[in-house]
Amino acid sequence: MTGAARRTAALIRKETWQLLRDPSSIAIGIVMPLAMLLLFGYGLDLDVKNVPVAIVMEETSADAQGAASGFDLSNYFDAVHVKTMAEAETLLLDRTVRAIVRIPPDFARDVQNEQAEIQVIVHGADANTARISLGYARGAVAAWMAREAVRGRALAVAPVSVQGRMWFNEANESTYFLVPGLIVLVMTLIGALLTALVVAREWERGTFEALFVTPVRSAELLLGKTVPYFVLGMIGLALSVIGSLVLFGVPFRGSALVLAGVSVLYLLVALGIGLVISSATKSQFLASQAAMMISFLPAMMLSGFMFDIRSMPWVIQMITYVFPARYFVSLLQTIFLAGNVWSVILPNAAVLAGMAAVLIALSVRLTRKRLA
């Protein structure tokens, strides 16, 4: 073994012992992913149920009654029937109801002519609920059409004027997109927060000072630090994937290899952030604060994992491009729910690869064997 390899191996061994003996590393690397998996999987439910809607029937034909019954029967809606549109609007404005379903006059005739329309107006204050309500409205109408179909009456074109469909989440369960999204949190915690902490700890406790005055090179120090946390990150990934498949039956349509590949890229980005933060702050407290602000919170809020980027204000949408988490979340949701869609995977992966290269180069530059 050459000197460099032997020294790097010694540092990796040392770091691994420390990692295994430090309960907080294990807690962040193993316990936290599992806890989040259970919490997000079972506890957190972004599904919208019992949305209060006002139904305005401007026609009383059987078809109109039938379409309305789709809302009456649905679990997702609490329907109240009102006489006029004005009445419904009052209810919407004081937020007694979240949506208005208007079945216009001549509905039955239009159904015959295959150009029927149902107007759905949602209150946009809660964009997330609004969006989901729209989807439900389509579902309710579809349910009515399905019942008609059973009776042997095929209604051709989708009669609801609202465009857009809910893709890739046909079961409409938030678990399906939350659980893969979790991976971004786990990798961020391990890569950025843990790494920043353990490197800052060495500065703080003065352990680097003695280590520097040995034949060790700074690149070997960096490698010795990152390899164990890289492995821990991959274990966290495996736990999250297995957990989401086994416990929650999340579909996995892409290939495991592509998932592993893009996860490695993101982990490198996160490690790079951790190393840069710790070299810059040299203090555990500052490093943990910085890692939270720069990596974890954006991964939670601005990555599209929890809140849809498209429903954010334009400025915030622009900001999300700065954070690596958004690219990884699109990759994760694509690979899990849509499959190997290369037009999504390649550009996102390229951005991550670029970020990783820049951050790692920066951390090598910042880690010199110098005090002050």
Partner 1 sequence: MPGDSAAGAVVAVRDLRKTFQRETGETVTALDGIGFAVAPGTLAALIGPDGAGKTTLIRLLCGLMLPDDGEVEVLGQNVSAAPQEVQNVVGYMPQKFGLYEDLSVQENLDLYADLHGVTRDERAAIYPRLMEMTQLGRFRQRLAGKLSGGMKQKLGLACTLVRTPRLLLLDEPTVGVDPLSRRELWEIVTTLIEEDGLSVLVSTSYLDEAERCDHCVVLHEGRMLAEGAPGTITAKAEGCSYIAAPPEGMPARSLQARLFATPGVVDAVPEAGKVRVVRATRENRAPIGIEGKEVTLKPVPARFEDGFMTVFAAVAGDSARNTLDLRAAEEGSAEVAVEVRDLVRTFGDFTAVDRIGFQVRRGEIYGLLGPNGAGKSTTFRMLCGLLPASAGTLHVAGADLRTSRAEARERLGYVAQKFSLYGDLSVDDNLRFFASAYGLRGRRRRERIAWAKDQFDLAPLATLPSRQLPGGFKQRLAMAAALLHEPQILFLDEATSGADPLARREFWGRITALAESGVTVIVTTHFMEEAEYCDRIIIMDAGRALAEGTPAEVRARAGGTAATMEDAFIAIVEKARQAGARGAA
- Give me the residues that bind partner 1 (CB under 8 A), please: 3, 6-7, 9-11, 13-14, 17-18, 21-22, 202, 205-217, 369-372
| Sign, Cα dihedral of 141, 145, 148, 150 | negative
- Alpha carbon of residue 343 to chain centroid: 19
Find the distance separating the first CA and the last CA of the chain, reported in whole Å. 33
> Least CB distance from residue 4 to partner 1, whole Å?
10
CB 176 within 8 A of CB 337: yes
Rounded distance between C-alpha atoms, residue 9 and residue 29, angstroms: 22
CB 183 within 8 A of CB 237: yes
CB 85 within 8 A of CB 104: no
Indicate the residue among 169 and 218 with the shorter CB distance to partner 1: 218
| Sign, Cα dihedral of 97, 128, 48, 45 | negative
Pairing of strands 99-103, 119-122: antiparallel
CB 214 within 8 A of CB 289: no
Indicate the residue among 150 and 372 with the shorter CB distance to partner 1: 372
Give the CA count within 13 Å in the CB-facing half-sphere of 98.
21
Q: Rg of the Cα trace of the chain? A: 27
Four-CA torsion 167, 172, 339, 184, nearest 10 degrees:
110
Indicate the residue among 155 and 221 with the shorter CB distance to partner 1: 221
Indicate the residue among 17 and 321 with the shorter CB distance to partner 1: 17
CB atoms within 10 A of CB 364: 15
Indicate the residue among 29 and 181 with the shorter CB distance to partner 1: 29
Which of 208, 203, 237, 235 lies closest to 221, judged by CA?
208
> Least CB distance from residue 228 to partner 1, whole Å?
13
Indicate the residue among 281 and 334 with the shorter CB distance to partner 1: 281
> Least CB distance from residue 240 to partner 1, whole Å?
27
Planar angle of CA 271, 277, 283, nearest 5 degrees: 120
Indicate the residue among 23 and 313 with the shorter CB distance to partner 1: 23
> Least CB distance from residue 276 to partner 1, whole Å?
21
Indicate the residue among 95 and 205 with the shorter CB distance to partner 1: 205
> Least CB distance from residue 133 to partner 1, whole Å?
52
> Least CB distance from residue 215 to partner 1, whole Å?
5
> Least CB distance from residue 205 to partner 1, whole Å?
6
| H or E segment and range at residue 180 | helix 174-188
Distances in Å between the Cα of 192 and the Cα atoms of 84, 147, 237 are: 57, 53, 15
> Least CB distance from residue 278 to partner 1, whole Å?
15
Rounded distance between C-alpha atoms, residue 163 and residue 150, angstroms: 25
Indicate the residue among 206 and 354 with the shorter CB distance to partner 1: 206
Joined tokens for residue 355: 């970020």
> Least CB distance from residue 43 to partner 1, whole Å?
34
> Least CB distance from residue 92 to partner 1, whole Å?
54
| 3-state secondary structure (DSSP) of residue 333 | helix
